[in-house]
Amino acid sequence: MTNRIVRFAKFGGPEVLSIKDEPLKSPGKGDVRIKVKAIGLNQAEVMLREGRYVGKPDLPSRIGIEASGIVDEVGEGVSKYKQGDEVCAIPFLSWNNNDFWTNDSINKYGTYGDTAIIPEWTITRKIDHQSFEEAAAAWCQYLTAWGGLVYNSDIESRKCCLITGASSSAAIGAMQIAKVFGLKTIGVSRTLKKEEKLKEIGYDEVLSLTDENFEKNILDATDGIGFDLSYDCVGGSHFYKLVNTVKARGLIVNYGNLDLDFSKIYTLPLLSKRVHIKFHSIFDTMRFEKQRIEGVDWINSHMQDKKLKPIISKVFNLDQIVDAHKYIGQGNQLGKTVVTT
């Protein structure tokens, strides 16, 4: 049986990814092996491939944190899943006793390939009406947004959510979750080239991050008050603009750092408006069992009733993995990029 596995032996661009035929491995204690049907691509994997992730793997390394597929073997002690179950692998990262991330999980696991071995506790059942492509596109975006925007964030009392990186799957997931709670959503993109399409998929307003009147435009869109919730993947040199336009007692949730520069932020505006700033990772939601179970159940419920529906930008096959990584590096997608086996 052919078992294609994607690895990289050095850090660099998409071309460092290569496909190898490897022997089929059996899952260890507490693990499950799935026949991978679809893989969701994430910026975390781009960072890992380039050598700038929070944990550097031992080379040559597997890659991938999100997938859907069919269980074909279970390890010792696994009780929730059996051969033939259709499941999703939810992204996670290992940690130490001091709450720092480690590379243990990166060295041991990976989803790019015909098969993937993953821990039982990181799996959930696929929603019946979803395709494998949709299932592979769901969990990183929705669970990250749920942990950042819903868990301990008083979203029920908020009215307007400003979302940067508006065309990314992560942002679209946040927009859909904000809509579940009835919030007005303002999408922020680098330019207004995608304005019409972004409004078609659900954003109420779309603003350009690079517009010299960006701050004024935010205030105009919020009746001069400012937004009371933001979901930000940009950070960097633009972050002070969010501080300047958030309303009193508003919350800014940062989960990414696409802009590697820094912001010059004064303390007084933060103090005078009692601004809350939260830095969030899906990996924290995953490592705390109570939070993980609550988030997974909430998302499954809302995907079941189709209030949350992944938007897929483009689908590649596994043989095109280099082209798929080039595509997500261009930043022109609208939604999730998926690879099928």
CB-CB contact of 27 with 80 (8 Å): no
- CATH 3.90.180.10 in the chain is located at 4-138+310-340, 142-280
Query: What token pair was written down for 257?
Result: 């750092």
What's the pLDDT at 75? 98
pLDDT tens sequence across 278-328: 999 999 999 999 999 999 999 999 999 999 999 999 999 999 999 999 999
Predicted confidence (pLDDT) at residue 259 exceeds the cutoff of 90: no
What order of strands is seen across the sheet that includes strand 61-62?
Answer: 17-21, 4-8, 61-62
Amino acid, single-letter form, for residue 270? L
| Model pTM above 0.85 | yes
CA distances from 188 to 64, 76, 85, 216 (A): 28, 47, 39, 13
Sign of CA dihedral 128, 129, 131, 133: negative
pLDDT tens sequence across 73-82: 999 999 999 9
Choosing among 3.40.50.700, 3.90.180.10, 1.20.120.50, 3.40.605.10, the CATH entry for 142-280 is 3.90.180.10
Query: What token pair was written down for 97?
Result: 């006793």
pLDDT tens sequence across 122-137: 999 999 999 999 999 9
Average per-residue pLDDT for the chain = 96
User: What share of residues in the chain are helix, strand, coil (percent, to 5)?
Assistant: 35, 25, 40
Choosing among 3.90.180.10, 3.40.50.720, 3.40.47.10, 1.10.10.10, the CATH entry for 4-138+310-340 is 3.90.180.10
What band does 330 get if pLDDT is binned at 50, 70 and 90? Answer: confident
Cis bond leading into 310, ω under 30°? Answer: no
